[in-house]
Structure 1
Amino acid sequence: MKKLLLALLTVGAAAGTASAQVEIGLKLSPSITYLRADGPSSYNFQNEKSKLSLGGGLVVDYFFGQNYAFSSGVWLSGKGGTISYLDRDPNSSSTTPSVRREQKIALQYLEVPVTVKLFTNDITTDTKLYFQLGVTAGGVIAARINGDKRFIDASNGNTETKASKHVIIPDMSALIGAGVEYQVGQSTKVFAGLSYHRGLVNIDNYFEDERGFQDVTLKNNEVALDLGLKF
């Protein structure tokens, strides 16, 4: 009985090892990003413009079934956008917000995705569709406001602050995507797809803490074209 059990465990482990497969590749992701800005009506926060960004990095797909893979990696991602809001007029004694300000916020993140990829069987020779679902977690490594690493606030006594201090470091996004993968060699595959990254975390670290604005939220959004090669 013991010998039979040991044999079954050995066969199971061998089958698991045989079915497990790791594919590693690189991707390039041009994207359109914008900020979901919200706050009290007196400040009238608005999303004004989106931003063209470029990201990419390492892709690792660990297959735990023929058509199922845990997908992770390390990505460098650009995010941000242009927002506007009403602020007080420094040349007036009134504290009522009356001057519209704009901030063009450019952020760079280092991210780690935690996702699952589901693949179809071949829809044509060596070609499959895939669907991806999960989250990404990362942190800010660089920031600029209006093209500069520092920001001078005209409505706050020309106070100068670092752009990187305007946002919190961590961020998390929900990710959903789909695409097509084509095998071009024995172990080489190319893929192309679209993905949507919806920010889950309020990244604002300036308006509430430094300016005393209440209930202001800024969240990242990104729509990316994912182009890559796996080896």
Structure 2
Amino acid sequence: MKKALLALIFSGATLGAASAQVEIGLKVSPSITSLRVDSPSDYGFRNEGSRAGIGGGVIVDYFFGQNYAFSSGLFLTGKGGTVSYFDDATRSRQQQKFGLQYLEVPVTVKLFTNDVATDTKLYFQVGGSLNAALAGKINDQKFYKDPGNGNAETKAYKHIILPDAALLGSFGVEYQLGQSTKLLAGVTYKRGILNIDRYFDNTRKFRDVTIKNSEVALDLGIKF
């Protein structure tokens, strides 16, 4: 009985190892990003516009079944947008255009269909991403002078909380070009779930202001 059980476990492990497959590739993602803002009505925070960005990096798909993969990677991504608010100190509406750069690590599951056409599959990807801010600009400058704070100059990078996280959803198509080469194209939506504001809360002492990232990207890639 023990021998039979050990043989079954060993054969299952061997089959799992044989079926496991890792595919690595490169991806570039032009995107439209924006900032979701919320605050008490006294401050009047609102989204004033989106920002065109681009990202790219390495894809890693680890298959644990024929049509199922754990998908991750490492990506450099541009985010940001334009927000405005009413500043009681200047009795006027102020506007800030954020340009942010993040390093992202997706933590997702990717599900593939069977062939919908010759050598062509659809995929659906769900999960999240863990992000770290690397750099930032406000109004295209690395330093920002706040007219509502006596024109005090601060580093734009210091206005945001460095870690961020997002929910991620994606769908697309993958085409088998050769024995191990695949082309992919898809659309991804990332919805930030953490408040990234550090300046209005800590420096200006504004109450209950939240700023969160949003992104829609076109994914174009190749796997080897």
Common fold by TM > 0.5: yes
Deviations 1:2-56 (A, max 9, x none): 4333322222121111111110001000000000011111111110010000001
Out of 166, 188, 211, the residue aligned to residue 218 of structure 1 is 211
- 3-state SS of 2:5 partner: helix
Cross-structure match for 1:158: 151
What letter is aligned with 2:46?
Q
What letter is aligned with 1:21?
Q
Deviations 1:140-190 (A, max 9, x none): 000000011110001111111011110000000000010000000001101
Alpha-carbon distance between aligned partners in 1 of 2:8 and 2:200, rounded to the nearest angstrom? 62
Alpha-carbon distance between aligned partners in 1 of 2:83 and 2:65, rounded to the nearest angstrom? 45
What letter is aligned with 2:103?
L
Please report how far the alpha carbon of residue 89 of structure 1 lies from its aligned counterpart in structure 2 after TM superposition.
4.6
**2:7 aligned with 1:7:** yes
Cross-structure match for 1:147: 140
What letter is aligned with 1:183?
Q
Out of 206, 227, 230, the residue aligned to residue 220 of structure 2 is 227
Q: 4+ runs of 1 displaced by more than 3 Å?
A: none
Q: Which sections of structure 1, spanning at least 5 residues, go unmatched?
A: 91-97
TM-score (norm 1): 0.95
Alpha-carbon distance between aligned partners in 2 of 1:42 and 1:149, rounded to the nearest angstrom? 28
Cross-structure match for 2:85: 85
Deviations 1:49-101 (A, max 9, x none): 100000011110001111110000111111110000111354xxxxxxx3011
Out of 111, 117, 124, the residue aligned to residue 117 of structure 2 is 124
Deviations 1:94-128 (A, max 9, x none): xxxx3011100000000110000010000001000
**2:58 aligned with 1:58:** yes
| Comparing 10-19 and 111-120, the one that deviates more | 10-19
Q: How much is the aligned-residue C-alpha RMSD, in angstroms?
A: 0.9
- 3-state SS of 2:117 partner: coil
**2:176 aligned with 1:194:** no
**2:172 aligned with 1:179:** yes
**2:45 aligned with 1:45:** yes
Alpha-carbon distance between aligned partners in 2 of 1:227 and 1:162, rounded to the nearest angstrom? 34
- 3-state SS of 2:169 partner: strand
What letter is aligned with 1:131?
F
**2:131 aligned with 1:138:** yes
Alpha-carbon distance between aligned partners in 2 of 1:3 and 1:226, rounded to the nearest angstrom? 50
TM-score (norm 2): 0.98
Alpha-carbon distance between aligned partners in 2 of 1:86 and 1:8, rounded to the nearest angstrom? 69
Alpha-carbon distance between aligned partners in 2 of 1:155 and 1:214, rounded to the nearest angstrom? 16
